[in-house]
Amino acid sequence: AIGLNYVDVYSRTGLYPQPGFPFVPGMEGAGVVTAVGEGVRDLKVGRHVAYAGPIGAYAQERLIAADRVVKIPAGV
């Protein structure tokens, strides 16, 4: 899932300049952890998480540092 905010709208309408291509928009997202790096102890594969930044939330998969995500509580 992604968050759609005014930065995305401004970027699409040309009000904010886009970086050169390839460019993947989006700042906020949520998803399921599919792998964890060595030394990551508080996240497990299958955990639902959300994050903000860096740009690229519209991508199908992301590589996000463990300290940049928050766990989504069960039932949310």
Exposed, middle or buried, 30 (CB in 10 Å: 0-12/13-18/19+)? Answer: middle
In a domain, 54, yes or no: yes
Could you tell me the CATH number of the domain that includes residue 56? 3.90.180.10
Over range 20-28, report the average pLDDT: 84
pLDDT exceeds cutoff 80 at 19? no
**Residue 76 included in any domain:** no
Does some domain include residue 16? yes
Domain hosting residue 44, numbered range: 2-71
Instruction: Using a cut of 0.85, tell me whether the model's pTM lies above it.
Output: no
The answer to whether residue 66 is domain-embedded is: yes
Q: What is the pLDDT of residues 28-76, one digit of tens each?
A: 999 999 999 999 999 999 999 999 978 889 999 999 999 999 999 988 8
43: in domain: yes
pLDDT of 38: 93
Ranges of H-type helices in the chain: 6-13
Choose among 22, 42, 25: nearest CA to 33: 42
Nearest to 43 by CA among 20, 67, 14, 7: 67
How many domains are contained in the chain?
Answer: 1
Q: Which residue has the tokens 């989504």?
A: 72
